[in-house]
Each structure stands twice: as C-alpha cells, then as structure tokens.
Amino acid sequence: MRRLILLIILPLLALCVFTGLVRSGPRGTIQQADLAEKRIYAYRDWQSVGVILHRGDRFTIEAEGEWLYTPVGGYNGPEGHKIYWAPDFYPLPGGPRGGCLIGRIGESGQPFYVGRGHGSTAVSNGTLYLRINDDMLSDNEGSLTVV
C-alpha cells in the first residue's frame, strides 16, 4: 500500500514542480487591472493598493494625476511641489519634495520615494501602501491614479 502511494504521489509532485504549479521566486507581473485600489487620495493616510510583496520581488509603480498639497501652492503631480521640500516631520523627510507620492511595504516599513515612477526590489514581506508626503492631510484635495 505504501509503495502504491509513493508511486502515485512522487510523479504528481514532480509534475507540479516541473510545470510551475509549485514555484518560488517572483510571483509574476501585476497590472493596474489587478490592483484592489487604483486611486490614492491626498487627504488619506497610508492606503493599500491590495498587493502583497515578498522579499526579493521586483516591483514598479507608476502614477499620474494631480492633487492639492497645500492650499497656497496649487495642484501638483506625483513628483511633488516644485517649491516646497519635505521638512523633518514628514513621513519621508529631507530630499523628496512635499506633496510627492511615497510608498512603504508593510505596516511599519521604511517609506520610499515613488513620484511618477519607481522600480525596486522588495526588502521585506508585506502589503504595498502609498500616500502623499505630507503631515497635515485635512487641507489636501484630489487623487493620483496608479497606472
């Protein structure tokens, strides 16, 4: 009986491995149509796009549209405001501009710049989150679309 089970299971396992039914590594390409949430709103905190990344996955994010980062500065795209830089108390301070699109992997992941487009390798496992690089969200308007 054991021999019969082994004769059935081993070939099935080999078939699964060789046909890609069981695989490791990258999970394949996720298109915009696959995203649970395509719009990222300027007045909301971290927003999941419904994609779970695994350490080592390659990913690319592209965004378009305009949102209002500051009432006195006018609308800007995902690259951020042309004049205002992100102060030390923003989610991603220093180099990037205020009002730019930023991302993180997981609930407590390190924020990274996205802007109009960003490609990288996931350094950890977790859900992909996006948001505007701003500390006060209540005066923001508009949204960007992840494409």
Question: Residue ranges of the domains in the chain?
Answer: 26-146
pLDDT tens profile 12-22: 545 444 333 33
pLDDT tens profile 69-98: 988 888 999 999 999 999 999 999 988 999
| Positions in the chain whose pLDDT score sits under 50 | 4-6, 10, 13, 15-25
Give the whole-angstrom CA distance, residue 55 versus residue 45. 24
The amino acid that residue 87 corresponds to is P
CB neighbourhood size of 25 (10 A): 8
Give the whole-angstrom CA distance, residue 113 versus residue 123. 15
Q: For the full predicted model, state whether its pTM sits above 0.85.
A: no
The whole-number pLDDT of residue 138 equals 96
Burial of 145 (0-12, 13-18, 19+ CB in 10 A): middle
CATH of domain 26-146: 2.60.120.430
b/e sequence 87-111, b meaning 16+ C-beta within 10 Å: eeebbbeeebbbbbbbbbbbeebeb
Helix (H) or strand (E) holding 146: strand 141-146
